[in-house]
């Protein structure tokens, strides 16, 4: 696989600069000009408009050509190994993760080296799911694995938030429980259902390759990561994969089970901008968001919910019920910026990204997971759930506790 380089990022910026930024300016200019030249058309003369169009066409064409040429040159440099590898720095890895969240589906479709492939990660590096690589990466591996799945535009290093002030979830779990925490990175611009399929396949491989026999799995997802976790368990159940039988707990932190208000606002904004010719080009910018972002509008986790629909043009809604794992405990953690869920600020902003009712798993037809346990963190925000001391305490408690399946089998 080709290495993503800084020259690839430069090329992508130039390509999108041509297509979205310059294209939007050109289209807005054209819409305003057509309206301004109505008066000259009424007088029977199209000469001023023709002169204007010829000049602007030449200017915009020249700028577009320069951007495309520069983009092609940057791609050529990248293909020859010129440019620092993006993953060599934490900042570069953060940029790559964000870009994947925004346009990751398009990157993958065009074979762009910046497209991320789902993988286990340790110390900023990929870990192959093979017995030798896993033994080297996790020398103290235990039979209880805690899988941490990040959210949209995030990466495996997003769990390091606030590390200077407090240990991460992985560090606390490793120090205070007998579990082995593992983190992964994935392309958040892909459909949630596709990432769920990838996670299903990865965990089934992990079951065979892990250094010791796995007897328990705890799944922890932040934001979109919670949807990916639920998509994976749903996919594995349909496929008859064995790893789901080891799942004791599913933890969702600020997950938009019933949809995210920001994506709903983006969709409505794009549709409203289409009403007027002068603002219509800006709608094209909003419509360029990835499939993963669009899935967040209603919290879709299966392909059947979106397949055959253009959700950038349609509102979509028909959700398909996905049965939870009967033997697993579900823990939904929600937060709001206000002191209570009913606080006026909380009612409007939720946790700044997800509304309280959605994070609590309450949809139009009732609970997404009827027996899920709800925990609430007041006066906080969406990204604080990546490393919050109260959440860390809960995680340690849940991981230490005996899973429902084990209790049920006891005489």
Model-wide pTM > 0.75: yes
């084990």: which residue's tokens?
Answer: 406
Q: Give CA–CA dist 368/361, Å, rounded.
A: 5
Q: Which helix (H) or strand (E) holds 264?
A: helix 261-273
Domain ranges of the chain: 6-89, 119-259+318-409
Q: List C-alpha distances in Å: 281 to 22, 31, 143, 267, 293.
A: 11, 9, 54, 14, 20
**Mean pLDDT, the chain, integer:** 85
Q: Mean pLDDT highest for which of 14-28, 121-135, 278-292?
A: 121-135
Which of 15-29, 303-317, 372-386 is predicted with the least confidence, judged by mean pLDDT? 303-317
Q: Give CA–CA dist 173/387, Å, rounded.
A: 12
Task: Give yes or no for a contact between 147 and 129, defined as CB atoms under 8 angstroms apart.
Answer: no
Q: 119-259+318-409: which CATH number, 3.40.50.1820, 3.40.50.20, 3.40.109.10, 3.30.830.10?
A: 3.40.50.1820
> Sorting pLDDT into bands at 50, 70 and 90, what band is 321?
low
Best CA proximity match to 320, nearest among 224, 234, 222:
234
Q: Give CA–CA dist 21/26, Å, rounded.
A: 9
- All residues at 6 or more sequence positions from 104 whose CB lies less than 8 Å from its CB, including other chains: 115, 116, 187, 188, 189, 190, 290, 292
Q: Is 151 helix (H, G, I), strand (E, B) or coil?
A: coil
Look at residue 196 and tell me whether its pLDDT is greater than 90: yes
Q: 209-235 burial, b for 16+ CB within 10 Å, e for fewer?
A: ebbeebebbbbbbbbbbbbbbbbbbbb
Other C-beta atoms within 10 Å of 148: how many?
26
Q: How far is CA 282 from the centre of its chain?
A: 23
Number of H helices, E strands in the chain: 16, 10
Look at residue 410 and tell me whether its pLDDT is greater than 80: no
Look at residue 114 and tell me whether its pLDDT is greater than 60: yes
Residue 406's pLDDT is: 44
Q: What is the pLDDT of residues 136-194, one digit of tens each?
A: 999 999 999 999 999 999 999 999 987 778 899 999 999 999 999 999 999 999 999 99
Copy the structure tokens of residue 306.
């979106």
Residue 212's pLDDT is: 97
Task: Give yes or no for a contact between 222 and 150, defined as CB atoms under 8 angstroms apart.
Answer: yes
Residue 411's pLDDT is: 31
Percentage of the chain modeled with pLDDT above 90: 55
Residue 271's pLDDT is: 53
Secondary structure (DSSP) of 2-63: PPPBHHHHHHHHHHHIIIIIIHHHHHHHHHHHHHHTHHHHHTT--HHHHHHHHHHHHHHHHH
Other C-beta atoms within 10 Å of 355: how many?
23
Give all strands of the β-sheet with 216-222 in edge-to-edge order.
Answer: 125-127, 119-122, 180-185, 144-149, 216-222, 247-253, 329-335, 373-377
Look at residue 235 and tell me whether its pLDDT is greater than 70: yes
User: What is the sign, positive or negative, of the torsion defined by CA atoms of 387, 104, 359, 273?
Assistant: positive
Residue 313's pLDDT is: 55
Q: What is the pLDDT of residues 263-301, one digit of tens each?
A: 665 545 545 555 555 555 444 555 667 888 888 887 888
Cβ-count burial of 49 within 10 angstroms (0-12 exposed, 13-18 middle, 19+ buried)?
A: middle
Look at residue 204 and tell me whether its pLDDT is greater than 90: yes
Q: What is the pLDDT of residues 51-73, one digit of tens each?
A: 767 887 788 788 888 888 888 88
Q: List C-alpha distances in Å: 257 to 4, 90, 310.
A: 33, 30, 21
Q: Give CA–CA dist 88/226, Å, rounded.
A: 28
Q: What is the pLDDT of residues 81-104, one digit of tens each?
A: 899 999 999 999 999 999 999 899
Residue 120's pLDDT is: 98
Task: Give yes or no for a contact between 232 and 199, defined as CB atoms under 8 angstroms apart.
Answer: yes
pLDDT (mean) for 37-52: 68
Query: What one-character DSSP code corresponds to residue 242?
Result: S
Provide the pairing of β-strand 144-149 with 216-222: parallel
> Sorting pLDDT into bands at 50, 70 and 90, what band is 302?
confident
| 289 vs 119: which has the higher pLDDT | 119
Q: What is the pLDDT of residues 357-393, one digit of tens each?
A: 999 999 877 888 988 999 999 999 999 999 999 999 9
pLDDT (mean) for 75-81: 87
> Sorting pLDDT into bands at 50, 70 and 90, what band is 311?
low
Residue 287's pLDDT is: 62
Look at residue 117 and tell me whether its pLDDT is greater than 90: yes
């Amino acid at each position: 696989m080709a290495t993503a380089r800084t020259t690839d990022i430069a090329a992508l910026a130039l390509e999108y600069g041509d297509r979205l930024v310059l294209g939007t300016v050109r289209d807005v200019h054209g819409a305003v000009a057509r309206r301004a030249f109505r008066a000259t058309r009424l007088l029977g003369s199209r000469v001023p408009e023709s002169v204007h169009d010829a000049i602007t066409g030449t200017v915009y064409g020249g700028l577009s050509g320069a951007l495309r040429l520069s983009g092609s040159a940057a791609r050529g440099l990248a293909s020859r190994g010129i440019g620092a590898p993006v993953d060599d720095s934490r900042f570069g890895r953060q940029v790559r993760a964000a870009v994947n969240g925004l346009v990751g589906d398009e990157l993958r479709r065009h074979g762009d080296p910046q497209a991320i492939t789902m993988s286990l990660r340790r110390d900023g590096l990929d870990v192959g799911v093979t017995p030798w690589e896993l033994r080297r990466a996790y020398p103290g591996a235990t039979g209880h694995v805690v899988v941490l799945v990040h959210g949209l535009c995030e990466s495996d290093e997003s769990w390091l938030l606030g590390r200077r002030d407090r240990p991460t979830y992985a560090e606390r779990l490793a120090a205070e429980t007998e579990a082995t925490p593992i983190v992964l990175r994935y392309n958040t611009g892909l459909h949630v259902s596709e990432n769920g399929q990838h996670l299903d396949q990865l965990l089934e491989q992990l079951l065979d390759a892990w250094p010791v026999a796995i007897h328990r799995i705890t799944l922890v997802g932040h934001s979109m990561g919670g949807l990916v976790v639920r998509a994976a368990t749903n996919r594995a159940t349909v496929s008859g994969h064995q790893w789901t039988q080891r799942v004791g707990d599913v933890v969702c932190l600020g997950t938009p089970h019933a949809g995210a208000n920001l994506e709903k606002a983006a969709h409505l904004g794009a549709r409203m901008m289409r009403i007027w010719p002068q603002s219509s080009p800006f709608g094209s910018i909003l419509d360029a968001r990835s499939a993963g972002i669009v899935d967040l509008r209603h919290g879709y986790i299966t392909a059947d919910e979106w397949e055959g629909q253009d959700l950038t043009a349609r509102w979509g809604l028909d959700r398909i019920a996905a049965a939870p794992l009967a033997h697993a405990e579900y823990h939904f953690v929600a937060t709001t910026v206000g002191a209570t869920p009913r606080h006026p600020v909380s009612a409007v902003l939720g946790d700044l990204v997800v509304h309280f009712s959605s994070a609590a798993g309450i949809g139009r037809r009732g609970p997404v997971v009827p027996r899920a346990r709800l925990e609430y963190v007041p006066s906080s925000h969406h990204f604080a759930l990546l490393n919050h001391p109260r959440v860390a305490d809960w995680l340690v408690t849940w991981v230490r506790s005996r899973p429902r399946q084990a209790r049920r089998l006891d005489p």
